[in-house]
Structure 1
Amino acid sequence: MKTLAPSKKPVITNKVQAVLLLLLLSLIWGSSFILIKKSLLAFTPLEVGTGRVFFGFTGIILIGMKELRQIPLKTWKHIVVAGLIGNLFPALLFAVAVTGLESSVTGILNAMTPLFTFVLGVLFFQYKFQWKQLYGLMIALAGTLLISFINANGNIGSFNEYALLVILATVLYAINGHYIKKYLSEMPSVRVSVGIMSTIGIPMFFVLLFSGFFSKVGTHPEGVSSLVYLMILGCVGTGFAVLIFNYLIKIAPVVFVSTVTFLIPIVALAWGYLDNEAFSVWHMGCMLMILSGVYLVNRFS
């Protein structure tokens, strides 16, 4: 999920359009976790992570190829860093995490991204901090810790180390948000996105080529279906979603767009339920704790 930049438009210019786009964006990003799970039926976590990046590149390059010529040479080093910490590494971490976590739990933990963005902002970027926000932070962290103990049956069990991979990915998302704001904020967001996907997407093709990825499409029983899931995850979840997001922040206030944070876990939980994943009062309680904590932190920002 992207970090929001300040909006110049305080009023929604087209409410119906904005609401529909927000719901569509929530559906796309909230579905990414079940798509990872389905992609893993035939491919390894390395192949899913790198494939997601590669297909994300193919989904956006045709639309924004002309933007590449507008990127200054000195800026490419920052684009490479942003591509690694904000796209490639999280994609790999999520792919590995879903091998040991329910996709719905992964989606719920992903809601910690704006919270870590705020914490890093306070520690390193002079964000204002109010003690009231500490309550929200503690509630969200408690929910994160508790959900890490929920087992595949929906009950409390032993700590699941795979949750740490999701948490690390959300921290990387948060770092990337601050990094882009510091070094790439003057550049149009579509241009940044195309540059990022180009630098990491093209090399990932060769990783897939030598990993045996393409041979599995024809030989593995789930090869074709997993490929379709992975292509949707990359092309739609990265390429198309970026275009929706960039347009949405132009026609609606930041506060409105930030509600996507609260809708993504709901979508992820719904997909998990439809896929016969465990759904218990513990899942619901932990999700409410995390989202409530995020809300309280944002409210007093």
Structure 2
Amino acid sequence: MENKKLRWVYLIVLSIIWGSSFILMKRALIGLTPIQVGALRILITAIFLLPFGFKSFSKIKKRHWYYLTLNGFIGSFFPAFLFAYAIDKIDSSIASILNSLTPLNTLIFGILFFGFGFRKRQLIGVLIGLIGTVLLILKGAELNPNQDYFYASFILIASVGYAFNVNILKKYLHDLDALSITVGNFTLLIIPTFIVLWYTNFFETFEVNESSIKGILYLTVLAIFGTGLAKIMFNRLIQISNPIFSSSVTYIIPIVAISWGILDGEKITLIQITSGFIILFGVYLVNRSK
């Protein structure tokens, strides 16, 4: 399949996987703390990737390791904890909506720090998508006035990290295959993750019970599909497309996440549905051919 069609396949599959990851985090948090969810998600992903990705280390050159380290921390390590803490305090669907700011940040930081160009149509598309996102946020806040929206800022910080992550991959790691990038990222994060678990007394205080076992099962599904396999696909998507197209996956994610939210008892209104269509139009405008 040619890259132009393949990138849309990746976009749709990633939207389904990552759109489902929010409800998995929400369920995992019933039996685990946010710090445990963030750390164990990274650790399980690394354990899953290493057996079949071990040979990829031979492709990683010395010049790659600096950017793999930077990419691993801002694109995987810190967001894993930021999302866990945010979803512990606000609805999973709202968290996914806030994550839609990533394409706007990708465009802004790509221009300011990485020298990437853009077309006027792309900027208009991003802004249209942002309008849909704002409408979703406002309606979500109206429906959930008792939630602590301070933690929404954690999602915004993570979206900035994702924006830098996409631009770094495109500019500095474009000559490294997607599996090597992902395996390199999570291998580097194993020791920092163990340090986090050690200093939070996880090994002394963790209790094995029905709730924690269910939490780990949800987290394992999230780590294998929502982090490991999805990261490989996303890294490949960046290589065969551009940063704006790649990050626009975060515009479609809320539609999937909100659908899961409805099934889990979260409220949805006609305005939110309309906003979802506005977001999709923004994605189309950003990515359509000349």
CA contact (8 A) 1:12 1:253 kept: no
Greater helix fraction, Structure 1 or Structure 2: 2
Q: Which residue of 1 aligns with 2:53?
A: 64
Q: Which residue of 1 aligns with 2:275?
A: 286
Calculate percent identity across the aligned residue pairs. Answer: 39
CA contact (8 A) 2:90 2:147 kept: no
Secondary structure at the aligned position of 1:148 is classed as helix
Offset from partner CA, 1:105-154 (integer Å, 9 cap, x none) = 22233233233212222333344444444443433333333433345773
- Say if 1:235 and 1:209 are closer, same or farther in 2 by CA, change over 3 A: farther
Q: TM-score, normalised by structure 2?
A: 0.82
Q: Which residue of 1 aligns with 2:112?
A: 123
Measure how far apart 1:10 and its partner are. Answer: 4.5
- Alpha-carbon distance between aligned partners in 1 of 2:278 and 2:271, rounded to the nearest angstrom: 10
Q: How does 1:1-301 map to 2 (within 5 A)?
A: 9-10=2-3, 12=5, 24-151=13-140, 154=143, 160-213=149-202, 215-219=205-209, 221-245=210-234, 260-299=249-288
- Alpha-carbon distance between aligned partners in 2 of 1:180 and 1:133, rounded to the nearest angstrom: 20
- Alpha-carbon distance between aligned partners in 2 of 1:223 and 1:158, rounded to the nearest angstrom: 24
Measure how far apart 1:238 and its partner are. Answer: 1.6
Offset from partner CA, 1:194-227 (integer Å, 9 cap, x none) = 10010013431342345344553514x5111001
User: Over aligned residue pairs, what C-alpha RMSD do you find?
Assistant: 3.4
Q: Which runs of 5+ in 2 are unaligned?
A: none
- Say if 1:289 and 1:77 are closer, same or farther in 2 by CA, change over 3 A: same
Measure how far apart 1:72 and its partner are. Answer: 2.3
CA contact (8 A) 2:86 2:151 kept: yes
CA contact (8 A) 1:42 1:223 kept: yes
Offset from partner CA, 1:232-270 (integer Å, 9 cap, x none) = 1112212222445567789x8779988855542222111
**AA partner of residue 218 (structure 1):** V
Measure how far apart 1:158 and its partner are. Answer: 9.3
**AA partner of residue 84 (structure 2):** A
- Alpha-carbon distance between aligned partners in 2 of 1:213 and 1:94, rounded to the nearest angstrom: 19
